[in-house]
């Protein structure tokens, strides 16, 4: 390892915070009744935890110090996406009938390089990892293939690091917006990502250590799949038998999201076919 060994929680946390600020949704009209209902229930849930565990003043002070540190480390996007987002995704995807989604996480960056049809993702000349062909079809709910649908893909490298969040990786490494061919198919050549470890030198890592949890997510490929008139789906695909698939700290694994790779017909690396059916918008 040369280029990414200095990845730090503060580094990736600050980048994640910056990225989130630039794309934040949810500003504008305030529904006071809804704020009151949600905030009251959230605070009441916290009060109940304090009573249940007889929280001491030392523990209350430790909580305050930790909350301050999460902000200083820029880790709120990381912390919330690991421990909270999966339930937000659950309640917001209950109506879907097509492809299964899961959390976005903190490392999506809009505006990746665009291409149509068979594509090799931007990668370093010596990119480490098993060559991996990720292919399939995007269709509507009736199975009609969708030409020019967009598979916006991003994933970590063979060391578990994301471009634009860990230092020393080219800007769009292992990121791309790949449009389906006229028959609705996509074919993306990349490398298999490694499991991802929550940065352990920041506030989130401190909580994980203090609780005696592990800090890993299984290896995964992120996608946002979209087409005109269809509802965009944000998802992640995991690797059957991969480490941590049964014990994801972000609780974002679902059985429908498992990939079953096979040796590539090219003889080099592995390949897998995964199809997406998009709900109407
Ligand atoms: C986090 C990182 C990920 O790669 C992901 O998919 C979800 C969450 C995180 O560090 O918060
Ligand atoms: Fe991720």
Per-residue pLDDT band at 28 (split at 50, 70, 90):
confident
Q: Which residues lie below 8 Å from residue 55, measured CB to CB, with a gap of 6+? A: 49
Which pLDDT score, from 0 to 100, does residue 12 have? 73
Rounded to the nearest angstrom, the distance between the alpha carbon of 156 and the centre of ligand 2 is 7
- Using a pLDDT cut of 90, give the percent of the chain over it: 89
- Average of pLDDT values for 18-45? 89
Ion ligand 2 — residues with CB under 5 Å? 105
pLDDT at 3 over 70: no
pLDDT, tens digit, for every residue of 47-72? 999 999 999 999 999 999 999 999 99
Which pLDDT score, from 0 to 100, does residue 7 have? 64
Domains in the chain: boundaries: 1-281
Nearest CA owner, ligand 1 atom 3: 105
- Average of pLDDT values for 110-137? 97
Which pLDDT score, from 0 to 100, does residue 2 have? 35
- By C-alpha distance, which of 176, 169, 170 is closest to 119? 176
CB distance 99 to 233 below 8 Å: yes
β partners of residue 222 = 154, 236
Ligand 1, pocket-test mutation among 73, 75, 78, 203, most atoms within 8 A of CB: 78
pLDDT at 11 over 60: yes
- Using a pLDDT cut of 70, give the percent of the chain over it: 96
Give the CATH number of domain 1-281. 2.60.130.10
C-alpha distances in Å from residue 247, one per residue of 79, 194, 255: 17, 15, 13
- Average of pLDDT values for 123-134? 98
Ligand 1, pocket-test mutation among 106, 234, 242, most atoms within 8 A of CB: 106
Which pLDDT score, from 0 to 100, does residue 50 have? 98
Nearest CA owner, ligand 1 atom 7: 105
Ligand 1, pocket-test mutation among 102, 105, 218, most atoms within 8 A of CB: 105
Largest CA distance in the chain: 64
Q: For residues 274 and 139, give the distance between their C-alpha atoms in angstroms, rounded to a whole number.
A: 12
Rounded to the nearest angstrom, the distance between the alpha carbon of 72 and the centre of ligand 1 is 19
- Average of pLDDT values for 142-159? 98
- Rounded to two decimals, what is the model's pTM? 0.93
Which pLDDT score, from 0 to 100, does residue 171 have? 97
Which pLDDT score, from 0 to 100, does residue 23 have? 78
Nearest CA owner, ligand 1 atom 8: 105
Question: Where does ligand 1 bind, in terms of residues with CB under 6 Å?
Answer: 78, 81-82, 103, 105-107, 196, 198, 217, 250
Rounded to the nearest angstrom, the distance between the alpha carbon of 158 and the centre of ligand 2 is 13
Q: For residues 113 and 95, give the distance between their C-alpha atoms in angstroms, rounded to a whole number.
A: 31
Q: For residues 264 and 272, give the distance between their C-alpha atoms in angstroms, rounded to a whole number.
A: 8
- Average of pLDDT values for 166-172? 96
CB distance 9 to 200 below 8 Å: yes
Per-residue pLDDT band at 86 (split at 50, 70, 90):
very high
Which pLDDT score, from 0 to 100, does residue 9 have? 62
CB distance 157 to 175 below 8 Å: no
Taking the CA of residue 156 as reference, the ligand 1 atom at the shortest distance is: 4
Which pLDDT score, from 0 to 100, does residue 10 have? 64
């Amino acid at each position: 390892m040369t280029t990414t060994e200095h990845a730090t929680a503060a580094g990736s946390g600050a980048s994640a915070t910056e990225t989130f600020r630039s794309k934040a949704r949810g500003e504008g009209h305030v529904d006071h009744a809804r704020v009151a209902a949600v905030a009251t229930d959230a605070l009441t849930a916290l009060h109940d935890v304090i009573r249940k565990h007889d929280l001491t003043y030392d523990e209350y002070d430790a909580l305050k110090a930790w909350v301050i540190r999460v902000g200083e480390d820029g880790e709120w996007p990381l912390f919330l996406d690991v421990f909270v987002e999966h339930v937000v995704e659950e309640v917001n995807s209950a109506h879907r009938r097509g492809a299964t989604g899961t959390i976005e996480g903190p490392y999506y960056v809009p505006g990746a390089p665009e291409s149509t049809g068979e594509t090799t993702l931007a990668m370093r000349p010596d990119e480490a990892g098993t060559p991996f062909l990720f292919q399939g079809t995007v269709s509507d709910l009736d199975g009609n293939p969708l030409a020019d649908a967009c598979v916006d893909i991003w994933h970590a490298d063979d060391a578990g690091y994301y471009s634009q969040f860990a230092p020393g990786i080219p800007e769009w490494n292992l990121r791309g917006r790949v449009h389906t061919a006229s028959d609705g198919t996509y074919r993306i050549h990349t490398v298999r990502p490694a499991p991802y470890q929550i940065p352990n030198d920041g506030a989130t890592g401190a909580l994980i250590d203090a609780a005696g949890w592990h800090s890993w997510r299984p290896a995964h490929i992120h996608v946002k799949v979209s087409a005109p008139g269809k509802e965009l789906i944000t998802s992640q695909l995991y690797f059957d038998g991969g480490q941590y698939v049964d014990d994801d700290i972000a609780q974002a694994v679902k059985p429908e999201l498992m990939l079953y790779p096979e040796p590539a017909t090219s003889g080099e690396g592995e390949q897998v076919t995964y199809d997406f059916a998009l709900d109407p918008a």
